[in-house]
Structure 1
Amino acid sequence: MKLSNWFARDGVERPLLWPCVTLALLFGLNLVVNPNFLALRMLDGHLFGAPIDILNRAAPLVLVAIGMTLVIATRGIDISVGAVVAIAGGAAATILATQAVPSGALIVQALVAALIVGVLSGMWNGLLVAFVGMQPIIATLILMVAGRGIAQLLTAGQIIPIGAPGYLFVGGGYWLGVPCSVWIATVAVLATAALVEGTALGLFIRAIGVNPVATRLVGLRSKAIVFAVYSFSGLTAALAGILISSNVRSADGNNAGLLLELDAILAVTLGGTSLLGGRFSFAGTVLGALIIQTLTYTTYSIGVPPEATLVVKAAVVLAVSVIQSPAAHALAMSFGASLVKSRGVAR
């Protein structure tokens, strides 16, 4: 393949190229700082090590991001997912707090209640966007503000401790040596990909993102699909809320899921999903979430002050986004073409 073609087509035929390169560079930097970065050890039947820690902490972000992926694919946005995380955790903790020693039935009830409030939250967003016709950012901003207040009401503005072993196992337990949260995120991603890519649903979502007016004119029930997509985003946010509250053994309506919506949007865009809709990649989204979590781990490991972590994260995201931009691809194509032309002249 000609060099010019490589530069011109790397963002089209290899959309995961730059996310993979970015993740590899972050891993390389960590290996320089800590040669044992990739080392794993088994303790009490559980795997421990930096890669496991990154996967475990990235699991809630992956869950939120796959829901966000489908929302963005329809030309939407959901900035309420952080609040939904807090609502779900608060709802579960409130139910568990009704018994000093929660029974198995009560734990199941808490899990189901958390998922239901997440779906209802997503349905509210979907109703406003698909049927009322509100702009997605305004519709979800309403729940972002109100949802944080609802979470604080559920927890009475306090941090509610959670001590139910069955509930804590969901986000803090291990199965086959791997954290349960990693298994849950993996199953969720694979099941979502199988449903969307294995049926016509993926084609419909892409069509809505490309031209929502045309999809309505050809008879596609675009409103119902958009409604379902926002409902699914609420479900994945609630599942992330369960993992987070289980992992930290408490529900905090003030801080749980705070700014998680921004990390989810960054993960989706880093993975190559277009904010203009019509194009998405679950594999890219997972890579984007891993990049963000690995970057967070890296900044702490190399001694970057906590107050500067967000600045470093923003700089890396900006650099990767610029590299992936159409302008950068056009510049690279022009550079490749001029390089090939200069070689031809030299001959």
Structure 2
Amino acid sequence: MNRLARHRLLWPVLVLVLLLATNVVFTDGFLSVQMKDGHLYGSLIDIIRFGAPLILVAVGMTLVIATGGIDLSVGSVVAISGALACLRISELDDQSAVGGVLAAIGLALVLSLVLGVWNGFLVAGIGIQPIIATLILMVAGRGLAQLVTDGQIITVNSVPYKLVGGGYWLTVPFCILVVLVVLAVTAFLTRRLALGLLIESVGGNAEASRLAGIRSRGLTIVVYAFCGLCAGIAGLMISSNVSSADGNNAGLWIELDAILAVVIGGTSLAGGRFSLGGTVLGALIIQTLTTTIYSIGVPPETTLLFKALVVTLVCLLQSPTFREKVFHRPRRGAPPASADADTKVRITV
């Protein structure tokens, strides 16, 4: 029982349960899931469906942060990916042509991968600080998305493309299935193979990892490339869901939500150990919080403030130092105060 109480994900789970309970109070039938026309519908399904892009971006961000880096450009990559895909589809004679849609999607994902490699090259190859290297693409990328769309909102009417973010397959939203596949592949590569251990070693000490024979630079580039790919898939989902691309607003501030999801999930910004399950939980908390804000009628002008307060509360509850001071519980492994005092007396004598 004590082990469970000390688990780093206990408080995030409790906060998620509390948010769901709040929605149950304010929304009738919030927990109900119904089958209509062969598709699953319900508030819980909507939370996962609308949170799918954030989960993808947060998963990529988790691996980047595990190496001791950060990626502020994912929001711009989201906008670029959606803009390029919609532009190519809008130029098709037949927007329902599966081949043309797949080509547009492939082009957008390849560009997202290249942008991720560019970030990794600046960080690992040139030696620029990650926050500066990705800030460059964060600013320039948003401008690139505006150039692709020519400053306009590009609308498409493509049934195959609509499937990516707003369609259903096997009764479940297709975007949820995509997230499950990406999570399964990522978990297999990082937890069943040595890749996760290598990433953690680079985050713990990149120079020591290099001296130990680990290709830390190449691994860092791969991780940033994966983060860019995840952001590109998220951009396709967002633009597909609304059948349009907005280079100015698509993916705006999603990088901050992704970083918050990673932190809530228990991954340290200093690098090292990471938790994919914790990241998914953090992303679900943020999406559920957004749903809760609308359901309880929080004024729109205070939405961001309310969201920041809740996230701050979750992070404080996760902090062992904060819990020690507030609840007067010593941290695990910390010596009792009396023992510490006796030690000081002996040293003084």
Same fold (TM over 0.5): yes
Distance, in Å, in 2 between the alignment partners of 1:135 and 1:293 is 30
Give the equivalent residue in structure 1 for 2:226: 232
Match of 1:24 among 17, 33, 38: 17
Give the equivalent residue in structure 2 for 1:345: none
Match of 2:8 among 12, 15, 30: 15
1:307 is the counterpart of 2:301: yes
SS at match of 1:154: helix
Unaligned segments of structure 1, at least 5 residues: 342-347
Give the equivalent residue in structure 2 for 1:72: 65
Instruction: Report 1:106-117 matches (<5 A).
Output: 106-117=100-111
SS at match of 1:101: coil
Distance, in Å, in 2 between the alignment partners of 1:246 and 1:35 is 29
Give the equivalent residue in structure 1 for 2:344: none
SS at match of 2:151: coil
Instruction: Report 1:311-330 matches (<5 A).
Output: 311-330=305-324
TM-score, scaled relative to structure 2:
0.92
Give the equivalent residue in structure 2 for 1:344: none
- Contact map agreement 2:68 2:203 (CA 8 A) in 1: yes
Instruction: Report 1:1-347 matches (<5 A).
Output: 6=2, 10-11=5-6, 14-102=7-95, 103-331=97-325, 334-335=328-329
Comparing 303-312 with 57-66, which one deviates more in the overlay? Answer: 303-312
Distance, in Å, in 2 between the alignment partners of 1:56 and 1:148 is 25
Instruction: After TM superposition, give the deviation of residue 100 of structure 1 in Å.
Output: 3.6
- Contact map agreement 2:60 2:227 (CA 8 A) in 1: yes
Unaligned segments of structure 2, at least 5 residues: 337-349
Distance, in Å, in 1 between the alignment partners of 2:134 and 2:294 is 32
Q: Deviations over 1:8-49 (max 9, x none)?
A: x845xx222111111011011111212411011221111111
Q: Deviations over 1:95-149 (max 9, x none)?
A: 1111242222111111101100110110000000001000000000000000000
Q: Deviations over 1:276-300 (max 9, x none)?
A: 1101111000000000000000000
SS at match of 2:329: helix
Instruction: After TM superposition, give the deviation of residue 207 of structure 1 in Å.
Output: 0.6
Distance, in Å, in 2 between the alignment partners of 1:85 and 1:72 is 19
SS at match of 1:335: coil
Q: Aligned in 2, Cα 1:10/1:276: closer, same or farther, shift over 3 Å?
A: farther
**Which 4+ residue blocks in structure 1 deviate beyond 6 angstroms?**
none
Provide the alpha-carbon RMSD of the alignment: 1.6
Percent identity for Structure 1 against Structure 2: 54
Distance, in Å, in 2 between the alignment partners of 1:99 and 1:194 is 38
Distance, in Å, in 1 between the alignment partners of 2:330 and 2:74 is 42
- Contact map agreement 2:323 2:329 (CA 8 A) in 1: no
